[in-house]
Structure 1
Amino acid sequence: VLAMMAGAMMIHGIQPGPRVISSNPSLFWGVIASMWVGNLMLLVLNLPLIGIWVRVLSVPYRFLYPAILLFCCVGIYAVNNNTFDVGLTALLGLLGYVFLRLDCEPAPLILGFVLGPMMEENLRRAMLISRGDPLVLITRPMSLAFLLLAVGLLVVMALPAIRKGRDRAFKEEEA
């Protein structure tokens, strides 16, 4: 949720961070007030409707899931009256299903979408300062340290998967 909020702020040209309180106090206090109002509305609306929500939970997923998909598609179409939006949503839903089947977490992908433009801008700035020489990224100690840290983290993350594959291959040979 935080990554999506930061992405929304960046889309509107607001730099996310602690300075949002001083640079955009109306936005900050508006978010706080909307959270209070939202929680109050949830309390007021959900307390009398607890029985209905319990009955909704007893509906089998084979009926509930298509109904949710239908309402999502109708809502998406209603925003712009464009069938392309519905198709794009279906395509992104299929991509999400593939990620789910591959046990991929969505949070790093969202974080990549949020931080990617900032990283690209700063890489472009570094290339301009170094007159297009990419070696500046490995000749400077600070950037070299961050690159080595990133490579080290990738290796540490990949090792369990590699070991699992090797163990599986050796077990198949023994059997």
Structure 2
Amino acid sequence: MSEVATLILPGLGDSGPEHWQTYWERMDPSCRRVHQAEWDAPRCVDWAAVLDTTVAALDGEAVLVTHSSSCALVAHWARTAAPEHLARIRGALLVAPSDPEAPVYPPEPTGFAPVPMERLPFPTIVVASTDDEYVTLDQARAYAHAWGSEFVNAGALGHINSASGLGEWPFGYALLQRLRAGPAARPG
């Protein structure tokens, strides 16, 4: 079987050059970004279709590395994806899940709310910050509980994005390595 791919799923606006997701792409050849046609006013269904096409084209398994709105994207995609596509996902690192029902969430994206609160069919880790303006720690913990995820409180890191100044973010990369090394996920 081929190497486990790492699919980078940025949130709204894509991830710029100083975002930890971009650092990971530069330092790790197994990391590749899933490019969306619309980053600023996306429809969740369109993002899910691109993710599904990407997963369908894989030669082997993948770990998903999401940020912000892409956490909700994965929850929506998992509800409708074919079992053989879900079986290709070894795990997902769900970082800084934003709350699309919160007042600060931008109005342009559509279809991300309500976030599905159902167990995900592969191992997941939710990483949240104590001072994220786009989700409360309690809401992030509720997502983790509903999704069957391990919950990691990363401390005061804001939205865990470029503004957080994390560079290569070794702490998060170690969590990715755990998911990569874990047993292959199977639907069920």
- Shorter chain as denominator, the TM-score bin is under 0.3
For the pair shown, which has the larger CA radius of gyration, 1 or 2?
Answer: 1
Q: Whose helix proportion is higher, 1 or 2?
A: 1
Q: TM-score, normalised by structure 2?
A: 0.19
